[in-house]
């Protein structure tokens, strides 16, 4: 690419009539050098051998909001050093859009296909969302990691980068508040004089650990000691089932985020969008940029039919 630019630049400077072309090349060169400089600086800050690695396991599935959600989370993680991002897709086929986006982020990552078993997918009652994905991620960690920390980060939450500084040094299991959970607006351990007292969560449901998936992190060495710690296919009881398997008592947890006084993660939920109408197909847009944008859109097939 650079050689090509150089030849073009050389040619343009020799032919006086090609001044416009030269200006265009200079503009392009300028943009390219900005992009390269920015990428080099960013990549330099992404790894430091002295920091433990955080294995972020993110369940995801194909829908209109998938790439927007991964964009938000990915660009948060791009600001955090020593991350290994395990993106576990509830799908039987790889999604090229996801792969392309992960490559762009430049974060060390692993893309897994972890479909929800058919018997759960077809059930009408509440489905165990993200369970096959998280178990696939845990299996990968067990097979590839020896130390560091595991964190389950759903693709639709909002994360403050300070969360990762907090959880990176988890010795066994750490916990911290999660905002916007249930009608209570918050899920958090309740501490009195710095010690565990009880739980604050809008739905206790007989759980020993009434916490949100985003509200805890686990040390890898500790996880490896507990052989059968996987997540149950039990909607609402995934966190509790997994944490019980970790053989830890509430009093033994490490409470982060300044003694659970700060919120660094929120259970934001994204509004579901409808497929778009077919305005973009109108012939007046032929030969324009909209034909490119159309490729990444989902147009409602019933509307499309009516037009033809
Ligand atoms: C809530 C909790 O925050 C989750 O931690 C918990 O797993 C879930 O309920 C549950 O108990 O079922 P909620 O916001 O209701 O989460 O669920 P989603 O955000 O829709 O799904 C959780 C994760 O699973 C997301 O990362 C999502 O991308 C993924 N997912 C969802 C799938 O992989 N497949 C699906 O069919 C649906
Ligand atoms: Mn969610």
Token reading at 12: 């343009």
pLDDT at res. 14: 60
Give the Å distance between the CA of 73 and the centre of ligand 2. Answer: 13
Contact, 154 vs 59, CB < 8 A?
A: yes
Ligand 1-lining residues (CB < 6 angstroms): 59-61, 90, 116, 129-130, 133, 154-156, 212-213, 235-236, 238, 267, 269
- What sections of the chain are H helices per DSSP? 2-14, 19-44, 66-77, 96-105, 118-121, 131-144, 162-167, 220-225, 238-245, 257-260, 290-293, 301-307
pLDDT at 8 over 60: no
Pairing assessment for the beta strands 83-89 and 109-113 based on DSSP bridges: parallel
Give the Å distance between the CA of 138 and the centre of ligand 2. Answer: 19
Contact, 107 vs 46, CB < 8 A?
A: yes
Give the Å distance between the CA of 239 and the centre of ligand 1. Answer: 12
239 is known as an active-site residue: yes
Mean pLDDT computed over every residue of the chain: 92
Give me the catalytic one of 166, 239, 251, 254.
239
C-alpha torsion 220→223→225→228, nearest 10: -150
pTM over 0.95: no
CA-nearest residue, atom 24 of ligand 1: 130
- Summarize pLDDT for 137-187 with one digit per residue, the tens: 999 999 999 999 999 999 999 999 999 999 999 999 999 999 999 999 999
Mean pLDDT computed over 282-297: 96
């Amino acid at each position: 690419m650079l050689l090509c630019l150089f030849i073009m630049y050389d040619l343009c400077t020799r032919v006086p009539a090609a001044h416009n072309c030269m200006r265009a090349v200079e503009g392009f060169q300028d943009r390219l050098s900005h992009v390269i400089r920015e990428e080099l600086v960013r990549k330099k800050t992404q790894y430091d051998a002295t920091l433990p690695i955080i294995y972020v396991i993110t369940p995801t599935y194909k829908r209109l909001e998938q790439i927007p959600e991964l964009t938000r989370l990915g660009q948060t993680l791009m600001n955090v050093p020593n991350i290994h991002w395990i993106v576990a897709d509830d799908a039987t086929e790889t999604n090229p859009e996801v792969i392309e986006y992960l490559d762009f982020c430049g974060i060390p990552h692993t893309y897994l296909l972890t479909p929800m078993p058919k018997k759960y997918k077809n059930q009408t009652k509440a489905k165990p969302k993200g369970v096959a994905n998280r178990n696939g991620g845990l299996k990968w960690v067990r097979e590839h990691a020896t130390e560091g920390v595991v964190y389950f980060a759903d693709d639709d939450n909002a994360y403050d980068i300070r969360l990762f500084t907090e959880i990176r040094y988890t010795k066994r299991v750490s916990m911290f508040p999660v905002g916007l959970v249930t009608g209570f607006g918050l899920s958090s351990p309740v501490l009195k004089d710095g010690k565990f007292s009880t739980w604050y969560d809008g739905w206790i449901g007989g759980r020993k650990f009434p916490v949100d998936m985003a509200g805890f992190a686990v040390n890898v060495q500790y996880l490896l000691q507990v052989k059968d710690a996987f997540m149950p296919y039990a909607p609402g009881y995934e966190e509790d089932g997994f944490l019980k398997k970790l053989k830890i008592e509430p009093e033994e947890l490490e409470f982060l985020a300044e003694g659970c006084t700060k919120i660094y993660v929120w259970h934001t939920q994204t509004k579901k969008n409808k497929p778009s109408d077919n305005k973009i197909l109108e012939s007046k847009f032929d030969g324009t940029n909209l034909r490119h944008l159309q490729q990444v859109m989902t147009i409602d097939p019933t509307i499309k039919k009516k037009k033809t």
